[in-house]
Amino acid sequence: MSSRGRLALLFVLASGCVAGCSSHAEIVPLLSANGIPVTEPTTVPLRVVTRSTAVNDPLHLRGTRVEYGDIEAALGHAVASATVPWADVHRAHPSGKDGWHLFVEVTNAEAQYDDGRVIFSMAVRATLRMRAGNIYLAQTQASCRQGAIVAPENGARTMYRCMMEIGRDLAGWLDGVDLNAVAPRPT
């Protein structure tokens, strides 16, 4: 058989394998696997979004075989719950007509277990923008470090204390943001 003939036969066999292999693929039905996706209404004055940059999620607790997951989601809840009062107070401000977007980027996160102690640290960069027009208002950084003498698998409370500290720091920072500096004036 010529090399061209072998190449054609190889192509046919490969095509058949791809077609046969793909018919046995497992399909994951999203609606039954995870439920209906719910999008929060735009009437929420402050939308908090978290993302990680070069941070593993789940986060490995060095010195153990334990990993902690859902870092972004937990941080999002901590920040959102701490900043609700600020958003409610400023809802009547012209820049709050369509609300704000607080983007919280996890820039560093470390977890270690040393001498019977869980130590967790995190750093974030937060950017506040108006939802309408995505207009930049302010940016800051915050960090935390918490430790506790607990078993490696019981360090979630320590991590939550650190995230709540970041949430409180960002809420305090929001209190100092001058919304009049860049917000459009009513006409």
| C-alpha torsion angle, residues 149, 151, 157, 161 (rounded to 10) | 40
Q: In what order do the strands lie in the sheet with 100-114?
A: 46-52, 100-114, 117-130, 136-148
Q: Answer yes or no: is pLDDT of 70 > 60.
A: yes
Q: Answer yes or no: is pLDDT of 180 > 90.
A: no
- Return the pLDDT at 184: 56
Of the pLDDT bands very low, low, confident and very high (cuts 50, 70, 90), residue 36 is low
Cα separation, 105 vs 68, in Å, equals 18
Q: Which residues contact 79 (CB under 8 A, 6 or more apart)?
A: 48, 50, 102, 104, 126, 163, 166, 167, 170
122-179 tens-digit pLDDT: 999 999 999 888 999 999 999 999 999 999 988 988 999 999 999 999 999 999 998 8
- Return the pLDDT at 28: 43
Rounded mean pLDDT, 25-36:
49
What angle separates helix 71-89 from helix 156-176, to the nearest 10 degrees? 30
Rounded mean pLDDT, 7-23:
44
Rounded mean pLDDT, 85-104:
88
Q: Which residues contact 143 (CB under 8 A, 6 or more apart)?
A: 108, 121, 122, 123, 124, 166
| C-alpha torsion angle, residues 183, 184, 186, 187 (rounded to 10) | 170
Q: In the chain, which ranges are E strands?
A: 46-52, 59-60, 67-68, 100-114, 117-130, 136-148
Q: Which residues contact 97 (CB under 8 A, 6 or more apart)?
A: 132
Rounded mean pLDDT, 36-41:
54
Looking at per-residue pLDDT, the higher value among 121 and 93 belongs to 121
Looking at per-residue pLDDT, the higher value among 15 and 122 belongs to 122
Q: In a 3-state reduction of DSSP, which class is residue 72?
A: helix
Looking at the DSSP assignment, which residues form a beta bridge with residue 119?
Answer: 112, 147
- Residue-range domains of the chain with CATH: 47-176 (3.40.50.10610)
Q: In a 3-state reduction of DSSP, which class is residue 159?
A: helix
